[in-house]
């Protein structure tokens, strides 16, 4: 599992995501038809920071059910997706076949996948991480080293993720959790929730279905609170060069808190009257010849 001390946590998260993934996809109407017809699940922020992906070897770490991976593959990338959830990877593989968009998917803990990819000598032009990836990592230094190891010279790590500040608030947008969490696991007895149902059409560009009602996850989950300095320093310690860092005062599609304001482009802002805080960030880091 990358680091044996957290093996039980990784397995718990795998179990929790397996249950939640079924509920999530139950709300998304005809995803294969949507992709076949030229639809994309990407937001403008990902498209911008990814840049031209035509012909690029790209690996999407923690890719969930592959919708974004396949949307990137449609743009010409030679795409690989990796995720810990069995349900997610099985769904992604079917979606690839049914949509007619070619991509390769691997079911693996990201740390185990790094070890396997390094042993094979795999190299990628782009490593992509998006939307709720960092908070599931138990060891940032091992992750950053793995990213560096699988990047080709001149290759880029591209991230669009929820900002660590967003994890300081509870569902009522009340300041509740520490920013400087030092990567300590937070235990959630109710596991991975059905955030797709809560967000509705904003997270289902193919169309929203009622799907699984009142989902309750019987499997607990663990998240890790990493502040921005910890993320950046882990990357810098590997020799990666930070090329871009952007912070956004909204979240794309995801209704992170009660009473969020939805504005154009399916962007979710804090409740009316609440102060503006960063809810997402975009990052690009480059592997130089000496990294």
- What pLDDT does residue 6 have? 87
- What pLDDT does residue 183 have? 85
Residue 218, judged by CB atoms within 10 A of its CB (0-12, 13-18, 19+), counts as: exposed
Specify which residues 5 forms β-bridges with. none
CATH number at residue 265: 3.40.50.150
- What pLDDT does residue 290 have? 62
CA distance 55 to 40: 18
Q: Is residue 212 part of a domain?
A: yes
Structural domain of residue 185, as residue ranges? 4-286
- What pLDDT does residue 116 have? 97
Q: Which two tokens stand for residue 223?
A: 């998240």
Q: Is residue 291 part of a domain?
A: no
How many domains would you assign to the chain?
A: 1
At CB < 8 A and 24+ separation, what contacts does 6-12 make?
Answer: 6/138, 6/139, 6/185, 9/138, 9/185, 9/222, 10/84, 10/109, 10/111, 10/138, 12/219, 12/220, 12/221, 12/222
Which positions of the chain have pLDDT values less than 70? 1-5, 290-291
Q: Is residue 14 part of a domain?
A: yes
Q: Is residue 207 part of a domain?
A: yes
- For 143, half-sphere exposure in the C-beta direction (CA atoms, 13 angstrom radius) is 24
- What pLDDT does residue 291 have? 54
């Amino acid at each position: 599992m990358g680091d044996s001390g957290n093996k039980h946590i990784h397995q718990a998260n795998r179990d929790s995501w397996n249950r939640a993934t079924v509920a999530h996809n139950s709300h998304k109407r005809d995803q294969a038809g949507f992709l076949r017809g030229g639809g994309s699940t990407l937001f403008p922020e990902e498209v911008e920071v990814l840049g031209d992906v035509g012909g690029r070897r790209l690996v999407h770490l923690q890719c969930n059910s592959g919708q974004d991976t396949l949307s990137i593959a449609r743009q010409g990338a030679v795409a690989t997706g990796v995720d810990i959830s069995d349900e997610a990877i099985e769904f992604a593989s079917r979606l690839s076949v049914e949509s007619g968009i070619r991509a390769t998917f691997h079911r693996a803990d990201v740390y185990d996948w790094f070890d396997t990819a390094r042993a094979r000598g795999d190299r990628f032009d782009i490593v992509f991480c998006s939307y709720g990836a960092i908070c599931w990592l138990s060891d940032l230094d091992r992750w950053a080293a793995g990213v560096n190891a699988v990047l080709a010279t001149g290759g880029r790590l591209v991230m669009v993720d929820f900002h660590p500040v967003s994890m300081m608030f509870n569902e009522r947008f009340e300041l509740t959790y520490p920013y400087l969490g030092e990567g300590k696991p937070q235990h959630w007895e109710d596991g991975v929730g059905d955030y797709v149902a809560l967000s509705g059409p904003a997270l289902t560009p193919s169309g929203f279905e009622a799907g699984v009602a009142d989902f309750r996850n019987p499997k607990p989950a663990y998240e890790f609170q990493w502040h921005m300095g910890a993320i950046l320093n882990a990357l810098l310690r590997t020799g990666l060069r930070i090329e871009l860092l952007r912070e956004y005062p909204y979240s794309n599609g995801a209704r992170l808190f009660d009473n969020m304001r939805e504005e154009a482009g399916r962007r979710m802002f804090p409740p009316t009257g609440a102060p503006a805080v960063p809810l997402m960030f975009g990052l690009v880091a480059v592997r130089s010849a000496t990294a």
